[in-house]
Structure 1
Amino acid sequence: MINRLFFMLVLVGVPLSVAGSLLHWSQTLMFGVYCLTIVSLASYMGRATESLAIVSGPRIGGLLNATFGNAVELIISIFALKEGLTEVVLASLTGSVLGNLLLVAGLSFFIGGLKFKRQEFNVYDARHNSGLLIFAVIVAFVIPEVFSMEMQIDETFHLSVGISVILIALYLAALFFKLVTHRGVYQHKTDEVEEHEEPEWGKGKALGILAAATVAVAYVSESLVHTFETVAHSFGWTELFIGVIIVAIVGNAAEHASAIIMAYKNKMNIAVEIAVGSTLQIAMFVAPVLVLISLLFADRLPLVFTMPELISMVTAVFLTITLTSDGDTNWFEGLTLLAAYLIMGIGFYLL
């Protein structure tokens, strides 16, 4: 029934998005249409990557989910950069980190925990990802903030470019480590769960749907960005709130749905890989790529976040590491992550 609903939203939302853009309908109305359309398109991306995940295994499957889920975020951010909305872009990166670590992981642990009293995942992957989380969020994001206090704007951006190159190189090295040189070295008994499940779609169909959905998302995302200023004025929202909460949730809808579905099926390796892997990809690949892409636009994007953003991300990292370092989870740990997300959401709304 949910799949039918998303199908109807795509069937109606895409033509409405095109018509609304061409006929200049109310931007507040179109903001809602664009968001629903992107979420419904993201659901198809999620189902396609889930099919590919069954064929590829939990690690590569989780990586695929994170990659195509973050493709939406990257597309929206590029159009926002083009419009000079650097604060929205930085806020959306913050929202993605918070959303993946607290909202996605929290909902996955909570919903999966309601069905299973205890859910296990690969503790070796969790420990490996913990180190990368500390590096990506705390080292790579906090350092520019500290040094920028004694630097000019141009020097801060040059520092951001250097850090971005290092982040991308380390992220690629991490993928090479996990998928090539040490693939299968750190096995866990939960890696053997549900190996024989049949994918919903074949490989070719899944890839075709991914490509079509990505093109559609790119078109709708460009229109969505143009509504931010009007919507912010209409509802009294700040650019910070739009980026941290609205854009992050809409942009990451694909992996939100996929991770929760995987947790409900007790496929916790994939669920954790989506939530944490997506965070690492945002911090170590998407953010640095956006810094480099901003070289093409008038407004540059330094990796300098506000203090509330930094403290929220650091808190989310330490809370996630604390709850996942033992390799198992339950519904109460999920509820703890969700509570932290709600507290931060209220703070950003009132800020």
Structure 2
Amino acid sequence: MVNKIFLIMAVIGVPLSVIGSLLHFPTIIMFVIYCLTIIALAGFMGRATESLAVVAGERIGGLLNATFGNAVELIISIFSLKAGLVGVVLASLTGSVLGNLLLVAGLSFFVGGVRYKRQKFNVYDARHNSGLLVFAVIVAFVIPEVFTQGMGEGHKLALSSGISIILILLYLAALFFKLVTHRGVYQSTSEGASEHEEVAEWGMGKALAVLLIATLAVAYVSEKLVHTFAEVAETFGWSELFIGVIIVAIVGNAAEHASAIIMAYKNKMGVAVEIAVGSTLQVAMFVAPVLVLISLFFEKSMPLVFTMPELISMVTAVLLTIAIANDGETNWFEGATLLAAYMIMGIGFYLL
């Protein structure tokens, strides 16, 4: 039933998004249409991810979902950088980290925990990801803020470019470690037992095709949605920082949000965590550095320097997530704790 609703919403929403943008429908109406269309497309991405997780395994399924989901945000951010909106891009990167670690993981833990009292995932992956989170967010994001005090713009960009290259290389090394040299080495004894009994809804080829087409459609609709934010913000009294940290981040990662929650509801917590945490790592260690390097070719470059509220929020989110998820088990109360932290930060950014 839900799949049919998503199909109807997507079939109606995508053409309506194109027609509405060409005929200049009222902005508030288009804002609602764009949001509903992205939610519908996210449903298809969730089904494709589930099929890939059955066929290719939890790690690869979660990685593919995070990659396709972050491709949308990367596209939106490149358009924003081209327009010179460096502050919005940095805020949206902050929002992605907070959204994935607190909102996505929180909702996944909460929804899954309501249905199952205890949900487990690979504790070795949790500890591996914890170290990467500390490095990517606390080391690579805080260090530039400390060292760039009093620096000129040229030195700031040089430091940011150097850090970006190191982050990208380490991220590629982490993928090689998890998927090649140490694949299956740190595998739980119970992990993978249900995957062999399950039949994928779609084959590998169809799932990848659906994921690709849905991602392209989401990218188009999301890019149009960005242009509605100014008027919507003025109507509702939202600030530019709030739009970047909360609104752009939620919309840009809508597909991942839906997929992770669906996986958690079906007790596939390994995939849900891989999407939430894996997406955060990809944003911090790949998307952000790539945007820094791409910005060098634009009129206004983007140093990897965040504001103090953004930095403190990201560091807090990382430490809280590590404290909660490092034991490889979750429940609904831990999810509620993450959601509460997200709400507190959301209020802070709204009033800032």
TM-score, length of structure 2 as denominator length: 0.96
| Equivalent pair of 1:193/1:267 in contact (CA under 8 Å) | no
d(CA) in 2 for partners of 1:154, 1:181: 39
Distance 1:20 1:83 in 2: 23
> Which residues of 2 match residues 326-345 of structure 1 at below 5 A?
326-345=327-346
Give the distance between the partners of 2:2 and 2:84, measured in 1 at CA: 37
1:114-133 alignment runs, 5 A limit:
114-133=114-133
> Which segment drifts farther, 298-307 or 277-286?
298-307
1:311 equivalent to 2:304? Answer: no
2:254 equivalent in structure 1: 253
Instruction: Kindly state the Cα deviation for residue 36 of structure 1 after the two structures are TM-superposed.
Output: 2.2
Return the offset for 1:282: 0.6
Mapped partners of 1:239, 1:136: distance in 2: 25
Which range moved further: 132-141 or 21-30? Answer: 21-30
User: Do the aligned residues in 2 keep the contact of 1:167 with 1:285 (CA within 8 Å)?
Assistant: yes
Structure 1 residues 36-45 or 162-171, which shifts more? 36-45
Aligned to 2:72: 72
Cα pair 1:123 1:326 within 8 Å, conserved? yes
Identity in percent: 76
Amino acid at match of 2:160: S
TM-score (norm 1): 0.96
Report matched runs for 1:85-164 at 5 Å: 85-164=85-164
> What is the distance in 2 between the residues matched to 1:3 and 1:250?
20
Q: Which moved more, 1:50-59 or 1:221-230?
A: 221-230
Q: Residues 147 and 104 from structure 1, CA distance in 2 versus in 1: closer, same or farther, beyond 3 angstroms?
A: same
The equivalences for 1:1-351 within 5 A come to 1-195=1-195, 196-351=197-352
Q: Which letter does structure 1 place at the counterpart of 2:341?
A: A
Q: Which amino acid aligns with 1:164?
A: S
- Residues 205-242 of structure 1 deviation map (CA, whole Å, 9 limit, x = unaligned): 21221222222223223322222222222222111111
Aligned length: 351
Matched-pair contact (CA < 8 Å) for 1:120–1:190: no
Measured against aligned partners, the alpha-carbon deviations of 1:138-188 in whole angstroms (never above 9, x if no partner) come to: 011111111221211222122111111110000000000011011111111
- Conserved? CA contact 1:119–1:266, under 8 Å: yes
Q: Is the 8 A contact 2:45 2:259 kept in 1?
A: no
Change (3 A) 1:154 1:229: farther
Q: 5+ residue gaps in structure 2?
A: none
> CA, structure 1 residues 40+296, in 2 after alignment: closer, same or farther (shift >3 Å)?
farther
Question: How far apart are the structure 2 equivalents of 1:82 and 1:46?
Answer: 31
Per-residue deviation, residues 310-333 of structure 1 (Å, max 9, x unmatched): 101000000000011111111111
After superposition, the C-alpha distances for 1:108-167 in whole angstroms (9 at most, x for unaligned) are 111111121111111111111000000000011111111221211222122111111110
Q: 2:265, 2:190 → 1: CA distance?
A: 15
* Inter-partner Cα distance in structure 2 for 1:328 and 1:78: 37
Any gaps of 5 or more consecutive residues in structure 1? none
Contact 1:121/1:190 (<8 A) preserved: no
Q: Is the 8 A contact 1:58 1:191 kept in 2?
A: no
Contact in 1 for aligned 2:55/2:203 (Cα 8 Å): no
Give the 3 Å change call, closer, same or farther, for CA 320–225 of structure 1 in structure 2. Answer: same
